[in-house]
Amino acid sequence: MNGISAAHSIGIIGTGRVAQALALALGKHSSALPLIWGRSTDKSKEAATRIGHAKAVDTLSSLASSSDIVAIAVSDDAVGPIAARLAPLLHGSDRTPFVFHVSGRSGTAILDPLREMGALTAAIHPAMTFTGNPREEVVRMAGACFAVTGSSDLASDLGKRIVSLLGGNAVEIAEDRRALYHAALCHAANHLVTLLEGSSQILSAAGVHEPHAVLAPLVRAAMENSLTHGFDALSGPVLRGDRETIAGHIAALGEYCSQALPAYRAMALATIDELEAREAPVPLAAVREELG
């Protein structure tokens, strides 16, 4: 296979949010209904019904024998076992299927059993969250970035072509940097949720009944400024070297919301580290001492 067109059939392994969105989006480019397989026959049928333009199959063998393009859209820990289970089904095939997974943490090495059977393999990870509405997510994938790692130049090109069909933007990530890439996304998205929950708890302890209403304008502005200006968007008492303000925060958190204190301290120290690396305009040793 040296390209991707509407002449190819598509198989989706998995029945969850990402699997459903991929089936709906890629099904538009398939000459036949995309095939869905999962460990639960009932869930496979439910997913196909929800997508509307897909067909559930009972066995992985049926999907393997009928698909030129196979997307493995399962949990991170399940990718390896699925690859090992799928590989023998490709033995003796006169086709060269393109198989990719959508896990963020793994590259293509996890698909080596398939590559050894002649498949072209890649890792294609969408840098976005999926909420469970396939139609909305098809729209959101258009314009999203996808990390592409291929086991060969041809596989990388095919991965980029898949991203193009989804309307996304391909970003090449080297095999040995996949975990680093995934850590960056988790640090930004997952830890942000934890950070905001901590801020909400602090506001609640301060007597605010709707903390999210207070936080929303501030956080949205900070996020937009940060994405536009990077670290230059920083403001606040650490930037100013305001030791007394920081001391007041530490004391208040210790008294009224101690569970948030370790995260506050860690983030403030990380901010000082970055400021000092950039030759901060004010001395920060006293603030660092206050933070402990």
In a domain, 287, yes or no: yes
In a domain, 1, yes or no: no
For the chain, the average pLDDT equals 94
Q: Backbone phi, then psi, for 164, in 5-degree steps? A: -65, -40
Burial of 43 (0-12, 13-18, 19+ CB in 10 A): middle
In a domain, 4, yes or no: no
This prediction's pTM:
0.86
Split into its structural domains, the chain has a count of 2
What residue numbers bound the domain in which 53 lies? Answer: 10-173
Enclosing H/E stretch for 281: none
114 CB neighbour count, 10 Å cutoff: 27
Structure tokens at 249: 């925060």
Residue 218 and residue 150 in one domain: no
Residue 155 and residue 100 in one domain: yes
Residue 150 DSSP one-character state:
E
As a 3-state breakdown, the chain gives helix, strand, coil percent values, each rounded to 5, of 60, 10, 30
Band (pLDDT 50/70/90 cuts) for residue 132 is confident
Can you give the CATH number for the domain in which 33 is found?
Answer: 3.40.50.720
In a domain, 5, yes or no: no
Which residue, 143, 173, 203, sits at the end of a domain? 173
CA separation for the pair 174, 151 (Å, rounded):
10
| Residue 169, beta-bridge partner list | 145
Residue 51 and residue 144 in one domain: yes
Residue 66 and residue 122 in one domain: yes
In a domain, 277, yes or no: yes
Whether residue 291 is predicted with pLDDT greater than 80 in this model: the reply is: yes
Residue 242 and residue 127 in one domain: no
CA separation for the pair 105, 54 (Å, rounded):
28
Residue 168 and residue 136 in one domain: yes
Q: Which of 62-66, 225-229, 267-271, 279-283 has the lowest average pLDDT?
A: 279-283
C-alpha angle 264/182/47, rounded to 5°?
Answer: 110
Residue 141 and residue 266 in one domain: no
In a domain, 3, yes or no: no
Residue 168 and residue 230 in one domain: no
Band (pLDDT 50/70/90 cuts) for residue 120 is very high
Residue 260 and residue 145 in one domain: no
